[in-house]
Amino acid sequence: MHIINITGGKKLGGEISVSGAKNSIVGIMPAAILCDEDVNIYNVPSLSDVENLKTILEYLNVNVEIKEDYMRIIPNNMTNKPINSELSKKLRASYYFMGSLLGKYGHVEISFPGGCVIGARPIDLHLKGFKALGAKITEDGDTMIIEADELIGTNIYLDFASVGATINLMLAAVKAKGKTIIENAAKEPEIVNVATFLNNMGARISGAGTNRIKIEGVDYLHSCFHEVIPDRIEAGTFVVLGAALSDNLKVKNLIPEHINSLLEKLREMGVGLEVGPDYVIVSKPEHYNPVDIQTLVYPGFPTDLQQILASLMVLADGTSTIDETIYENRFQNLYELVKMGARIKVEGERGYIYGPTKLKGTTVMATDLRAGAALVIAGLIADGQTEIQNADYILRGYENIVEKLSNIGATIVLK
């Protein structure tokens, strides 16, 4: 396990660029095997989650070539094999092989996925959708066998607008016979990006980005070029960092509309923002107002950014609150902030942050990806030295984080 060491209190400035979206590429790579030819993907971030998906693809005899941010996937010689827990537990997104292998072969054998421990994270909606398309599911301990002689398009209503279930069901339905409609679909930009990728290969998906996605099954998917959208959570992380410590930090290569909910909260906190077509310039204000946030599905305030914003709330003049409505266990970072001197109370799904407090560097633990990133921000704000243990979590979702932050003036080392 890696460790990150930070010397806090340094002023940040200059420019920082956002990489391709983790939660897009982790859907796109499993989706690529549906193609009957090669696929070419640009703006691919270099992340451990991407490495882990590459390992699974190579295990399935899929050829994966990576050159900087370009990836070519050639599934022509692939074989359908069981994906055991050693492979599937490395990340959450291994579950997208359920939809793609089922769509391609009508048969998949796979163990339950892994991922950050932020709540129960069941996959019942995925499985219910596969069944609606005609699949039979057999569970044997940790392993599931999902199979169908033929997948037939149907209407599927999701009880909750789940990102994972929406993408997985699109993958299964792309080659199904006839028309599938996913009602109460999730609307996150990553879903639109995966749907566009599939359409670039010849799929017939419409309505992605709305709560009703329509998929007309096709028989053949051809070679394509595709670009991964900028990572809105990485973008939000850098903007919050700038709001804490910078004088005119320019966060580049982002789609500002994707982080509107965050930008509005930052304005409410009194943070100065200049929003351009593909950048945000952010500066630290004199004082921060406290704010209340509630996490919601897109375009509401993203759960992936609540932990990040918590590190800034510590500086606000008064009490801020966070209501986490998506996951039941996503406040582990708050307990680590307490070790750094923050005054915080957690009551069920609500966190209270009593500011302002001066944070002091100490040894803390990254308990999941976004908790880790939140502690990087806290460490950079704090006086003195912070050691973040379990830093591997952070490398799952932030490309070259140490180099990027060093370039804007941070003192940060990965060991």
Q: Is 116 a catalytic residue?
A: yes
Which CB sits closer to ligand EPU, 184 or 303? 303
CB atoms under 10 Å from CB of 250, counted, come to 19
CB atoms under 10 Å from CB of 354, counted, come to 16
Site residues (CB under 6 A) for ligand EPU?
Answer: 22-23, 26, 92-93, 116, 119-126, 160, 162-165, 186, 233, 302-304, 326-327, 369-370, 397
The residue number with the shortest CB distance to ligand EPU is 164
Q: Give yes or no for a contact between 189 and 228, defined as CB atoms under 8 angstroms apart.
A: no
Residue 126 beta carbon to ligand EPU: minimum distance, rounded to whole angstroms: 5
Residue 382 beta carbon to ligand EPU: minimum distance, rounded to whole angstroms: 23
Residue 112: strand, helix, or coil: coil
Which CB sits closer to ligand EPU, 89 or 360? 89
Which CB sits closer to ligand EPU, 65 or 328? 328
Q: Closest by alpha carbon to 26, among 85, 75, 92?
A: 92
What is the spatial distance between Cα 375 and Cα 157, in angstroms, rounded to a whole number? 38
Residue 137 beta carbon to ligand EPU: minimum distance, rounded to whole angstroms: 13
Residue 66: strand, helix, or coil: strand
Q: Give yes or no for a contact between 25 and 189, defined as CB atoms under 8 angstroms apart.
A: no
Residue 166 beta carbon to ligand EPU: minimum distance, rounded to whole angstroms: 8
Question: H or E stretch including 157?
Answer: strand 155-157
Which CB sits closer to ligand EPU, 288 or 331? 331
Residue 226 beta carbon to ligand EPU: minimum distance, rounded to whole angstroms: 17
One of 116, 171, 186, 239 is an active-site residue; which one?
A: 116
Q: Closest by alpha carbon to 374, among 280, 237, 265?
A: 237
Determine the distance from the C-alpha atom of residue 240 to the mean position of all C-alpha atoms in its chain, rounded to a whole number.
17
What is the spatial distance between Cα 266 and Cα 280, in angstroms, rounded to a whole number? 12
Amino acid 211 reads: N
Which CB sits closer to ligand EPU, 26 or 174? 26
> Could you list the active site residues?
116
